[in-house]
Amino acid sequence: MPYKDNYHYTSLFHISRLHIFRPCKLFPDSNLFPANILSLSHKVEVDCLKLNQIDDTRRKRAVIIFLVAILFISFKGFLSPVVDVGFVLQKEVVGVEEEGRFIVFRSGFEGVSVQDVACGQLLPEGAENLLINESVETELKTRYPEIEYVVLMRLCVEDEIREYRVSREDFNRLDIGVVAKYEVYRSEKDLIKRIIEI
């Protein structure tokens, strides 16, 4: 390394990819930098590492918040109900057992029909609308482990026919031919959550 007037240029530290050079007087029999210069260099390196760690933490935190927000919006949309309007074409009481599903009673514009003859005595004679009270449901459950109430609706907006499962109370409210506004679960589109208006 060339000398000039008993001075030489020595690289002290590296910051932001630029080498900073300063003249430093040579000390006899020593190739070491002064202690204060080495200490400054170490402090700058430590500060840079800390800043990088802070930036990484902030980036990770921002990514986590973004992902949580996306999941929350998706989950909320998945659970939110859908509102439809349609009129009742048909009603069915269905018995469910291991062997399958069996229609017990059916009601339509032509009237009420008994599909399971053994349960025929549970309905009043000449019934024009299919209504199931609690006592009839109890009797039906002695023959079938599970009872489902099904309505067939023609949608007013999309002009298509859909089959829905409903509660016994809503089943009794939905007479043949009436127009109803109702909510269905987005996750279970064949299940009416509630009747909004008839």
Secondary structure (3-state) at 116: coil
Residue 1 is assigned to a structural domain of this protein: no
> Which of 79, 99, 116 is the last residue before a domain boundary?
79
> Which of 50, 79, 108 is the last residue before a domain boundary?
79
> Which of 54, 79, 104 is the last residue before a domain boundary?
79
- CA dist 190 and 44 (Å) reads 66
Residue 127 is assigned to a structural domain of this protein: yes
Top pLDDT among 115 and 71 is at 115
Q: What are phi and psi of 194, to 5 degrees?
A: -160, 155
Residue 164 and residue 116 share a domain: yes
Classify strands 82-97 and 100-108 as parallel, antiparallel or unpaired. Answer: antiparallel
Domain of 107, in residue numbers: 82-197
Residue 123 and residue 46 share a domain: no
Q: Please give the model's pTM, rounded to 2 decimal places.
A: 0.59
Say which amino acid occupies 147: I
Alpha helices in the chain (DSSP H): 35-79, 134-140, 168-173
- CA dist 108 and 90 (Å) reads 5
**Percent of the chain predicted with pLDDT > 70:** 64
Evaluate whether 85 touches 155 at the Cβ level (below 8 Å): yes
Residue 95 and residue 65 share a domain: no
pLDDT band at 68 (very low <50, low <70, confident <90, very high): low
